[in-house]
């Protein structure tokens, strides 16, 4: 029976462990990119929600905007500015007084794409979900 020397085995394990965080890590966004996506209705009472994420020219923040329903009017628009961390993740909370009405948490997958979780608590139809955002 052939055995792998312990030094080589330890080296292979170390390389494998270093590769795992790299596969799961986020990317940094392209400065100024506009990403678009849609949170589709997931039930009879849910509305389709268009979503935009506009990265600032500095790449350090973005404007996260979503609309309650297909019509993109000022009256049904919800938006906040979120900070983009050095690891490509972002999060934000929209409050009215002390009441949290919706939250977003996401990460850039590539320089022009992101995934986000939109949690709608007390506005629109109160139905959030996961949305994929892609740049043009």
Q: Model confidence over 31-76: pLDDT tens digits?
A: 999 999 999 887 778 899 999 999 999 999 999 999 999 999 999 9
Q: How many CB atoms lie within 10 A of CB 114?
A: 30
Distances (CA, A) of 16 to 31, 46, 129: 32, 43, 33
**pLDDT band at residue 1 using 50, 70 and 90 as cut-offs:** low
87 within 8 A of 25, measured Cβ to Cβ: yes
Q: Fill in the DSSP letter of residue 10.
A: H
Q: Pick from 85, 93, 95, 78: which is nearest to 61 by CA?
A: 85
Q: Model confidence over 70-124: pLDDT tens digits?
A: 999 999 999 999 999 999 999 999 999 999 999 999 999 999 999 999 999 999 9
91 within 8 A of 70, measured Cβ to Cβ: no
Domains and CATH numbers, the chain: 34-135 (2.40.160.90)
């Amino acid at each position: 029976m052939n055995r792998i020397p312990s030094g080589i085995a330890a080296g292979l394990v170390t390389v494998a462990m270093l590769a795992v965080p790299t596969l799961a890590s986020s990317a940094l966004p392209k400065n100024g990119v506009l990403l678009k996506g849609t949170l589709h209705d997931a039930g009879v009472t849910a509305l389709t929600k268009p979503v935009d994420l506009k990265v600032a020219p500095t790449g350090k923040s973005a404007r996260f905007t979503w609309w309650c329903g297909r019509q993109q009017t000022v009256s049904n628009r919800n938006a906040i500015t979120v900070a983009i961390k050095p690891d490509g993740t972002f999060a934000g909370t929209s409050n009215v007084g002390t009441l949290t009405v919706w939250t977003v948490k996401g990460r850039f997958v590539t320089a022009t794409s992101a995934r986000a979780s939109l949690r709608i608590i007390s506005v629109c139809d109160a139905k959030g979900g996961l949305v994929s955002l892609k740049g043009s």
